């Protein structure tokens, strides 16, 4: 399986501390978020990485040249959402892939355990007493996700999809069909990627939930997220 890292976004909501660098260049424990992800993929034997770039793409392509990464550009990163970035990478994804956002730190053991999980589609979920509006929330029954979106009632959600998932080659044909349908037929270029996961669910595909337990996973959207992430990561590692 390949690794898919989505690194096209500008990170406008945290631009005050990124100093015009990509958000994935923010450092945690002395290492970029992007490097944490690449190291985690390497630790489970993933040698083929597809990275979708957009904002500051020349910088990323220069800094990570020679590392066996296939770069895919999303020239419309400012006016598309994550679904658009995945669409540009679709030809590389047919044999299965690990999915991740370049602005998310997660403990490497989460990815190690995800690799061993069975199922066509497996999403890592942080179970919570109560979610918040900004999070991509899920409803779960018997270990299966039956609803995923940001708009659901926070109190009704099982928890948050942390943006780390695995898609087996047995489901990628249908997944890619739904991506094409939304982008090319429906013109939904600003949809979240999770919309096509809901499409899979609605047509009867099983999407499994993998509870990450008490392990750390944090998406860095705002300056406060970064400060919290630094404290959490420093508590896990010797910096």
Q: What DSSP line would sit under 77-97, residue for residue?
A: TTT--HHHHHHHTGGG-TT-E
R_g over Cα of the chain: 17
**Residue 187 pLDDT:** 87
Which domains are delineated in the chain?
2-236 (3.90.550.10)
Residue 16 has pLDDT above 80, yes or no: no
**pLDDT above 90 coverage of the chain, percent:** 86
Is the per-residue pLDDT at 102 higher than 90?
Answer: yes
**Each residue's pLDDT tens digit, 198-234:** 999 999 999 999 999 999 999 998 999 999 999 988 8
Provide the pLDDT for residue 230.
Answer: 92
- Check residue 61 and give its pLDDT: 98
Identify the pLDDT of residue 12. 76
Average pLDDT over residues 63-68: 94
For residue 237, pLDDT beyond 80:
no
State the pLDDT confidence band at 103, using cuts at 50, 70 and 90: very high
Give the per-residue pLDDT at 75. 96
For 1-14, how does the pLDDT look when each residue is reduced to its tens digit (9 = 90+)?
999 999 999 877 77
Helices (H), 56-146: 57-63, 82-88, 108-116
| Structure tokens, 61 | 């392509």
Q: Express each pLDDT in 19-46 by its tens digit.
A: 889 999 999 999 999 999 999 999 999 9
**pLDDT at 239 (0 to 100):** 61
198 in helix, strand or coil? Answer: helix
* pLDDT confidence of residue 1: 93
Residue 51: closest CA among 18, 113, 100: 100
Q: Are the CB atoms for 22 and 11 separated by under 8 Å?
A: yes
pLDDT confidence of residue 178: 98
Q: Which residue has the tokens 């096209």?
A: 8
What is the structure's pLDDT at 130?
86
Distance, in Å, from the CA atom of 140 to the CA atom of 158, rounded to the nearest integer, reads: 6
Q: Which two tokens stand for residue 100?
A: 């991740």
> With a threshold of 0.85, does the pTM exceed it?
yes
User: Each residue of 144-187: pLDDT tens digit?
Assistant: 999 999 999 999 999 999 999 999 999 999 999 999 999 999 98
Residue 238 predicted with pLDDT over 60:
no
Q: What is the pLDDT of residue 116?
A: 97
Exposed / middle / buried, residue 190 (Cβ in 10 Å: 0-12, 13-18, 19+): exposed
């Amino acid at each position: 399986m390949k690794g898919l890292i989505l690194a096209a976004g500008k990170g406008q909501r945290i631009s005050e501390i990124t100093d015009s660098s990509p958000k994935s260049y923010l450092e945690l424990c002395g290492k970029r978020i992007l490097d944490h992800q690449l190291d985690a993929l390497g630790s489970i034997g993933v040698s083929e990485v597809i990275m979708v770039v957009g904002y500051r793409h020349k910088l990323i392509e220069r800094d990570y040249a020679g590392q066996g990464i296939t770069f895919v550009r999303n020239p419309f990163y400012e006016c598309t959402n994550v679904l658009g970035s995945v669409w540009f990478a679709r030809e590389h994804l047919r044999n299965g892939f690990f999915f991740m956002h370049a602005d998310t730190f997660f403990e490497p053991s989460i990815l190690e355990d995800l690799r061993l999980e069975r199922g066509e589609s497996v999403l890592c979920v942080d179970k919570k007493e109560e979610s918040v509006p900004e999070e991509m929330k899920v409803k779960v029954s018997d270990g299966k996700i039956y609803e995923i979106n940001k708009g659901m009632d926070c109190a009704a959600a099982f928890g948050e999809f942390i943006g780390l998932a695995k898609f087996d080659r047995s489901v990628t044909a249908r997944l890619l069909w739904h991506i094409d349908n939304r982008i090319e037929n429906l013109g939904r270029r600003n949809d979240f990627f999770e919309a096509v996961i809901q499409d899979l669910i609605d047509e009867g595909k099983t999407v499994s939930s993998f509870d990450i337990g008490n392990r750390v996973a944090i998406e860095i959207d705002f300056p406060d997220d970064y400060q919290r992430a630094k404290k959490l990561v420093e508590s896990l590692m010797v910096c």
